[in-house]
Structure 1
């Protein structure tokens, strides 16, 4: 064994017997957090955020082994991973995709619009009632069923997609990550389609009951 190899072996942060990992514990936890998804928030997990930035190059290398790339927003302090984008090879899809129903997508578009309409704001807080009113143009059938479906979408935004964070009774803060949940070109296409549906639909009709 050369002196150089011995030194690198000694520097490896063994966390358990036989550990071959090359990252320190907090960096591993940061890597795990972003792979689990949907994202890592620096404001909510400052220790993991610091570890991610300190070991960014090594973490990017680990992710590239999985055909993933790291996306970091240093201003709003969040990071997430996505499939590597390249035309050089057929890249497999290592990430689990989440399905969105019609109202999920409509709610994401509204949240994204509200966030982008408040540039420079530290926090963008919205009321549940306000969001529901904006989505009322897509109501089909009776109001109680529509409200139940809206409640389901609101809950998924809070707990599953984590693009909303509770800010009190009936209010929530929009996470900056909502800007990246939907691809920009897809947003444009969806906005046009949802606008068309809203213009054609009247409350009580049966149109646009799913995506």
Structure 2
């Protein structure tokens, strides 16, 4: 049955007009995308007077509460740190803190700026390092720098072998020696220098953050102290510790580490 009307005659078939039933759709307001994040200009809470966008605030909060922000582990936070780094440096400087960004390993962290003032207060807590923690960190940092692999794998047995030069001159009690190494492994897991494999608790990945925090000057300083430590056969005095936003105040025996913070 032909239902063509006079008005339809001569019309190009490809020039079909929408039905009048849908003609009003163009006049409808645009629909917001589902799940959009809160506007950067919207207050996050009652009384919010922040001058920074939400994402910059969240990046700042994480820099102050984490030991570091990693592009590998926290890609979204890492992106925000890079995007707002200039504003973050200003905010951190107000607290006598420096922002360190190591692009090569995609790691960002803060460190305490040191200067003399009766009014200044240290925001970061002191991260105290055992003697064996420092020795293990030193060897792992050198191992990571020498390796060309992105992820360095090391076993518990290989970690014990790193201390072979120590046991001959210092630790005669092998049980106590093994216990100290075990505590060092636990400490480096805690500060996220080592990551234990889920399927094998005796295998670890050396975190790339160790290359960012253990700078060449820190390695040189610790190497010198390690050689003095091994040569003397004595346990050195208590350390002053390292600064960390998420650190804890503890008293341990350790290498004197008044060098760079890590």
| TM-score bracket for the superposition, by shorter chain length | 0.7 to 0.9
More displaced stretch, 34-43 vs 135-144: 135-144
* 3-state SS of 2:124 partner: coil
For residues 11 and 104 of structure 1, the distance between their equivalents in structure 2, rounded to whole angstroms, comes to 43
- Tell me which residue corresponds to 1:47: 76
For residues 89 and 177 of structure 2, the distance between their equivalents in structure 1, rounded to whole angstroms, comes to 43
Report the number of matched residues.
193
- Scaled by the length of structure 1, what TM-score is found? 0.80
For residues 143 and 73 of structure 1, the distance between their equivalents in structure 2, rounded to whole angstroms, comes to 39
- Tell me which residue corresponds to 1:135: 163
Greater helix proportion? 1
- Tell me which residue corresponds to 1:122: 150
Deviations 1:65-120 (A, max 9, x none): 111111111121110011236x7x6465321111111101101101111011114x
For residues 17 and 92 of structure 1, the distance between their equivalents in structure 2, rounded to whole angstroms, comes to 29
- Tell me which residue corresponds to 1:176: 208
CA contact (8 A) 1:30 1:51 kept: yes
Q: Match for 1:93 among 122, 137, 145?
A: 122
For residues 200 and 94 of structure 1, the distance between their equivalents in structure 2, rounded to whole angstroms, comes to 36
Structure 1 residue 179: Cα displacement: 2.9
Deviations 1:29-54 (A, max 9, x none): 22122112311111111111111112
- Distance of aligned partners of 1:11 and 1:177 in 2 relative to their CA distance in 1, 3 Å threshold: closer
CA contact (8 A) 1:138 1:208 kept: no
Does 2:52 correspond to 1:23? yes
- Tell me which residue corresponds to 2:222: 190
- Distance of aligned partners of 1:11 and 1:200 in 2 relative to their CA distance in 1, 3 Å threshold: closer
CA contact (8 A) 2:40 2:53 kept: no
- Tell me which residue corresponds to 1:166: 196
- Scaled by the length of structure 2, what TM-score is found? 0.66
Greater radius of gyration (CA): 2
Q: Match for 1:35 among 48, 61, 64?
A: 64
CA contact (8 A) 1:12 1:21 kept: no
For residues 28 and 200 of structure 1, the distance between their equivalents in structure 2, rounded to whole angstroms, comes to 49
* 3-state SS of 1:97 partner: strand
Deviations 1:10-41 (A, max 9, x none): 97431011111233333322212211231111
CA contact (8 A) 2:70 2:108 kept: yes
- Tell me which residue corresponds to 2:97: 68
- RMSD over aligned Cα, in angstroms? 2.4
